[in-house]
Chains A and B, each alone.
Chain A
Amino acid sequence: MVQGSFKIAIVGSGPAGLSAAARAAELGISHVLLEAESWLSNTIYRYQKGKHVMAEPDVLPLRSPLTFTAGKREAILEAWNSGTAALGVNIAHRARVSAIGGQKGAFTITLDGGDTLQAEAVVLGIGLQGNLRKLGCPGEDLDWVQYQLDDPDEYKGETIVIVGAGDAAIENAIALADNNKVYILNRRDEFDRAKPGNLSGILKAIEDGKLTCLYNTKPVAAEDSPGGKRLRVATNDGETELAVDRIIARLGATPPRAFVESTGIQFPSKDPNSVPAVSAQYESNVPGLYIIGALAGFPLIKQAMNQGYEVVEFIEGRTVEPADTPLLRDKFAVLPDITDIEEALATMQRRVPILKPLTPLQMREFMIDSDIRAPADGEIIFQLNDYTDTFYSVVSGTVEIEVDPADPSKRFTLGKGEFFGEMSLISGRRRSATVRAGNQCVLIETPRRSMNKLINSVAAVKRVIDEVFLRRIIQGKIAPTLPPEEIADLVSSAEVRQYRPGELLFSEGDAGDALHLIRKGSVTVSREIGGKDVVLAYVPAGQYVGEMALVSDLPRSATARAAVATETIRLDGVAFKELMMRRTQVRDRVQEVYRSRVAQNAVAQARPMGDVLEFMMSQGLGEATDVLLIDESLCVRCDQCEKACSDTHGNVSRLKREAGPTFANLHVPTSCRHCEHPHCMKDCPPDAIKRAPNGEVHITDACIGCGNCERNCPYGVIQMGIQSKTKPSLWRWMLFGGDEPGRYHPAKKDKSAKKATKCDMCKDLDGGPACVRACPTGAAMRASPEQFVKLYRGGR
């Protein structure tokens, strides 16, 4: 039981909170560290046993009374346990904070169970993992009721009840069913939240009798009865009792947001990924309430620990130069005149309007992620059709944008304070123009993730970027030669629409009331022929659909459907027609597209692709930039492709030839599609997944092996593996046998050092994809969606 009054109360003993408490203890400040669990640092405690924890970013110095170097999970936790003990940190375990009230100087903290305590300042370091949902019935804390499963092979011959219907529950149930009697308890009558692979897996396991599923069933109580461990459950037919050895509940976690908001802290947007904004001293909008670590948007251990140290200094009224200042100084090295970093950051914010709404901390973070570039006059920043996805702000000087690829002399100029690169950022497509540096140009180049984070956390940034994107894409696609005033009406009629995969934009026969400019995702155009929906065309982001009905005044002649999650800019038909009436060049341009589409559709109808396109769309073609395809009528199953990949990529193959679906003779092996908006990038703590100029989505050495990307890729193409440099010798193998090149799997000694591996399209190899070049028969090929459609239409 903890009670009393403290100067600093720290909530959460993750690396952030722990480091703060350790600093407070070191300084002899009255403090308490409140941790919900019986151990320290729950997030790290829950890593897989023996996991190798990495200390990214390398260049950042550590500033904390506790030690932290890359190493095994166990060693790190042990060092923190002994470190906190030596410093005399005042830790309260099993102290879950449920409410924080009061104000600066007099906060009241309420714990689960009703205890309260007082503190002058509160530091929130509760991370983003949230609280695991418990059974929600008596007995939920019994020691044979667990909420996690490390190693399914630990259990043999037990009767185990799995509670839950999500991916984790299903994966656990299937893994345990080999050696145990397993029940899976599902509140509802289906597994609709599971990934397709898990869904078919569990249904099959149930059908085969490997395990038993109790549908529409809820736990009522877990109890130790004289006869043994029992779980009472409620079904539609009443209550029954199961004799069990163990209950494993996998019910997900409640995100911490609701709790955080209850303390008065505000989130900048509804986006579930957004985190609260804090000042340069880590203070939230509630004075005296500080936020550090993952919850403040810093997803790595070292950053969290540094902030723990710094926040205590700030509360004590001292100023410390943040640990990342040397990093920032490096960034400014290109501008030798600058000495005062704080001043330079402020100047940049003044010069670039889009950065104005950032808090100083956000600005620091933004600059640490970004690079400052001072390109020479005339230097190319990026080329038309590059696949890069960074965002540029112009700090001084100018850049020239070549609007017409046919005529490089047609340019328009952007000056100080403006930005560019937002098209690729939003659409995930290639660069739509070549950009050159102008006179005395200084730019900030920001990676995609940091930009997306900013868009999600600062509403003003999102609004400005969306507006500019809208204006530029409408201008670029519809009226590149008109002055902006001419299209003002059209722009103001525009609205952004979002569609789920498979949702209709419009149907054949509808009145043609609008034009859709695809902002993100892609669309298929189909027509009903002989009672069947026949797909005629695939339209990627950056192009428009729906112009036919506007040009011809007839009802829609085809159906447009989102192939993947899609966003369009809907332009009102009336405003659009008006513009066409007024400006013949607009009309001519649209009519040209219209004519070429009519011709295309005629070809498409004459050479129907059948269901092959639909099959490929279901395989992610609609969001892919490049897919590996195997023609099974040519494939002699020699696995040369796999061997080639393995041999050229550290003995870990990035593709599985045999796995993956087949349609007629077309096989899509398990290999990366290099998505336009890679799902794998979403949640990578060190931002290790990047897109190269030719579109290759690849994983850099910064990977810390957390496995998030493996879970996030819907196509299951990322594996956690151990790469090795040694290659077996070809001649030795040919003459004496032994390890064959391409089939060499060095002993996997150190399982913990696994990193994410995936196809990088052989971007570092001369000659392109090794898998395709090693295929003896020509069965393997890589294609973009556009090439695919073209090829399968017979080379037209």
Chain B
Amino acid sequence: MAQTPHGSFLRHRGYRYLKLGSLLCIICILAYWAHDPADGPNGGSWLGYTLGTIGALLIGWLAWLGVRKRRYGSTMGTVKGWLSAHVYLGLALITVATLHTGFQFGWNIHTAAYVLMLMVILSGVFGIGVYARMPTLITENMGTSDRETLIDEILDINQQALKLADPLGPEVHRIISRSTERMRLGGGLWAQLFGPLPPGRRAIDELRKIVADEESAASAKVFDPQSSTVMFMAGELSQAKKRGEIAEKSRQLMELIGRRNALIVRVNRDIQLHAQMQIWLYFHVPLTVALLAALAAHVISVFLYW
């Protein structure tokens, strides 16, 4: 198939914001290189203040994405454009902020803010990585179906399996109902991220055993040379037929459970891929909040000590 023409946010408007971000970095570096304050480069010089202000404005604007992306009626650009700018200017922020600090790090609130910023950016970079990889994996796993349909199908199969198991006696019924009860879709965060245990093979193994038992019993009786009277033969034959049927039904059950388990694996993989694609935002956003707090503290403390 021809490549789809939808432009990714990374390529937005011919990499406009990549260019803008790079330009910003270059200007900052040049200024830093040209600037030579008496007490060495630091946040307190005029360039330091300028870079700090640019950095703080950038951070505020970057965090504003959380607001803009939910203002659905807004006509201020598109969210795609915003995200493109977010990524490239967010990366440029590393240069801006680092030059602002003049490489003066220590165990203080200032450096805490800086480190938080780096963590937000790092999680963002991770996000770009998964956004590039996961969507295709999800499509490949799901094929033309979707999760809801698969779950419906799984529940359906469970119903069918129970129905099929009903006439096969309490033993089979127990196996099936236990297997349906134990089935796990999704689960806690851990299970979502790393996948829950694959569905057990126990039900299938037990069914396999029943099939084998019933089949051997059935064939053994039919060809039993000891059988003497015709009446007895007829009785055994119907017995054997019944056993054959049980074996046949159990085999169908095995197939059903097998098919269901394959579906469970697919649904769980879908859940897992979604979780892996989205988990980073649960770092990115809280870290942003922490960053905003630390930054406020930094700025206030700087003015207090001034």
Q: Residues of A at under 8 Å CB distance from B?
A: 208-210, 607-612, 629, 631-637, 640, 643-644, 647-648, 658-659, 661-666, 730, 734, 741-742, 765-767, 770, 772-781, 791-795
Contact = CB atoms under 8 A, between A and B. Distances in A.
A634 B75 contact: no
Interface in B91-114: none
Interface string B1-29: 11111111100100000000000000000
A666 B79 contact: no
Contacts of A608: 2
Given A631-B6, A794-B3, 13 more contacts: A208-B156, A208-B157, A637-B135, A637-B274, A647-B72, A662-B139, A730-B70, A730-B71, A734-B67, A741-B72, A774-B69, A779-B135, A792-B5
Given A636-B131, A777-B9, A742 B70 contact: yes
A161 B278 CA distance: 48
Task: Identify which of A644, A659, A666, A793 gathers the most chain B CB atoms within 10 Å of its CB.
Answer: A644
A640 B79 contact: yes
A632 B139 contact: yes
B160 interface: yes
A741 B70 contact: yes
A791 B160 CA distance: 47
A634 B132 CA distance: 7
A663 B139 CA distance: 10
6 contacts: A633-B139, A635-B135, A662-B139, A741-B70, A772-B78, A780-B6
B72 A770 contact: yes
Closest 7 CB pairs of A and B: A767-B75, A791-B5, A644-B72, A631-B6, A647-B72, A632-B139, A631-B4
B169 interface: no
A82 to B, nearest CB: 47
Nearest to A777: B9
B222 interface: no
A778 B13 CA distance: 11
Contacts of A776: 9, 69, 79-80, 82-83
A781 B7 CA distance: 10
B218 interface: no
A742 B70 CA distance: 8
Contacts of B147: 658
Contacts of A774: 69, 72, 78-79
A778 B79 CA distance: 9
Contacts of B143: 662
A665 B4 contact: yes
B79 A773 contact: yes
B123 to A, nearest CB: 15
Contacts of B144: 661-662
A664 B139 CA distance: 8
A611 B2 CA distance: 10
B181 to A, nearest CB: 20
A633 B5 contact: no
Nearest to B5: A791
A661 B142 CA distance: 12
State the majority secondary structure of interface residues on B: helix
B146 A659 contact: yes
A692 B278 CA distance: 39
B131 A665 contact: no
A632 B143 CA distance: 11
B79 A775 contact: yes
A766 B70 contact: no
A681 B3 CA distance: 36
Contact of A730 (B3, B67, B148, B277): B67
Interface residues of B, number: 42
A611 B75 CA distance: 36
Nearest to A635: B135
Interface in B14-62: none
Interface string B250-266: 00000000000000000
B235 interface: no
Nearest to B82: A776
Contacts of A634: 6, 8, 135
Contacts of B83: 776-777
Contacts of A612: 1-2
A775 B80 contact: yes
B163 interface: yes
B2 A607 contact: yes
Contact of B4 (A633, A659, A661, A767): A633
Contacts of B139: 632-633, 662, 665
B72 A208 contact: no
Contacts of A644: 72
Contacts of A779: 6, 135
Given A209-B163, A210-B156, A658-B148, A648 B6 contact: no
B233 interface: no
Contact of B2 (A633, A742, A780, A794): A794
B1 A610 contact: yes
B134 interface: yes
Contacts of B225: none
Contacts of B170: none
Contacts of B156: 208, 210
B188 interface: no
Task: Identify which of A208, A611, A643, A663 gathers the most chain B CB atoms within 10 Å of its CB.
Answer: A208
Contacts of A611: 1
Contacts of B287: none
B141 to A, nearest CB: 11
A636 B136 contact: no
A664 B79 contact: no
Nearest to B86: A776
A792 B2 CA distance: 6
A640 B6 CA distance: 17
Given A632-B135, A636-B131, A664-B1, A742 B160 contact: no
A792 B131 CA distance: 23
A44 B240 CA distance: 62
B9 A778 contact: yes
A775 B9 CA distance: 10
A63 to B, nearest CB: 44
Contact of B134 (A636, A773, A794): A636
Nearest to A773: B78
A544 B171 CA distance: 71
A774 B72 CA distance: 6
Given A665-B136, A776-B69, A609 B79 contact: no
A632 B136 contact: yes
Given A209-B163, A637-B274, A773-B79, A778 B73 contact: no
Contact of A778 (B1, B7, B136, B160): B7
Nearest to A209: B160
B135 A636 contact: yes
Contacts of A665: 1, 4, 136, 139
Contacts of B80: 773, 775-778
A774 B69 CA distance: 7
